[in-house]
Amino acid sequence: MPKVWIADKMSSRAIEVFKTRGVDVDYKPGLSDEEKLAIAGDYDAIAVRSSTTLKGGLLDAAKRVKVIGRAGIGVDNIDIEGCSRRGIVVMNTPFGNTITTAELAVSHIVAAARMIPQASASTRAGKWEKARFMGMELTGKKAGVIGAGNIGAIVCDRLKGLHMSVFVYDPFISDERAAAMGVAKIETVEELAETVDVLTIHVPLLDATRNLINADIIARMKKGSIIVNCARGGIVDEDALYDACKSGHLRAAALDVYANEPARDNQLFELDNISFTPHIGASTDEAQENVAVQVAEQMSDYLLSGIVKNAVNVPSLSEEEQRLLAPYLLLTERMGRFIGQTMKPGYSRVKVSFEGHASHINRKPLINTMLQGLLSQSMEDVNAVNAGMLAKDRGIEVAEFACEAQDRFSTLIKLEVEGDEGNRCVSGTLFDESRPRFVSFDTCDVEMAPEGNLIVIQNEDKPGMIAAMGGVLSAANINIGDFRLGRREDAKTAVAIIQVDTSPSQEVLDQLAALPDMLVVRYAKLGAM
416 closest CA partner among 344, 333, 351 = 351
Per residue in 265-303, is it b (16+ CB within 10 Å) or e — as a string? ebebeeeebbbbbebebbebeebbbbbbbbbbbbbbbbb
Annotation says 261 is catalytic: yes
**DSSP SS3 for 282:** coil
Query: Strand order of the sheet with strand 3-6?
Result: 24-27, 3-6, 45-48, 67-70, 89-91
Active-site hit among 158, 202, 232, 337 = 232
Q: CA 265, CA 471: separation in Å to the nearest integer?
A: 84
Q: CA 308, CA 329: separation in Å to the nearest integer?
A: 14
Q: Give the per-residue SS3 of 448-499.
A: ECCCEEEEEEEEECCCCHHHHHHHHHHHCCCCEEEEEEEEECCCCEEEEEEE
DSSP state at residue 95? T
Contact status, residue 218 vs residue 238, Cβ threshold 8 Å: no
CA dihedral (170, 172, 178, 180) positive or negative: negative
User: Cα-atom radius of gyration of the chain, to the nearest Å?
Assistant: 30
Instruction: Kindly provide the residue ranges of all beta strands, DSSP E only, lying in 263-334, ordered along the sequence.
Output: 274-276
324 closest CA partner among 370, 364, 362 = 362
Q: CA 330, CA 376: separation in Å to the nearest integer?
A: 15
Q: CA 40, CA 62: separation in Å to the nearest integer?
A: 5
Query: Could you give the C-alpha distances from 207 to 119, 172, 203, 235, 356, in angstroms and in order?
Result: 38, 17, 12, 10, 40
DSSP secondary structure of 5-51 = EE-S---HHHHHHHHHHT-EEEE--S--HHHHHHHGGG-SEEEE-SS
Active-site hit among 16, 191, 261, 447 = 261
Annotation says 488 is catalytic: no
Annotation says 249 is catalytic: no
β-pairing, 347-356 vs 397-403, is parallel
Asked if residue 504 has a cis previous peptide bond (ω within 30° of 0), the answer is no
Q: CA 347, CA 364: separation in Å to the nearest integer?
A: 20
Percentages helix, strand, coil for the chain, rounded to the nearest 5? 35, 25, 40
Query: Could you give the C-alpha distances from 63 to 24, 32, 249, in angstroms and in order?
Result: 18, 19, 53
Contact status, residue 175 vs residue 185, Cβ threshold 8 Å: yes
Contact status, residue 341 vs residue 522, Cβ threshold 8 Å: yes
Active-site hit among 70, 108, 279, 363 = 279
Query: Could you give the C-alpha distances from 7 to 146, 294, 310, in angstroms and in order?
Result: 33, 16, 20
Positions marked catalytic: 232, 261, 279
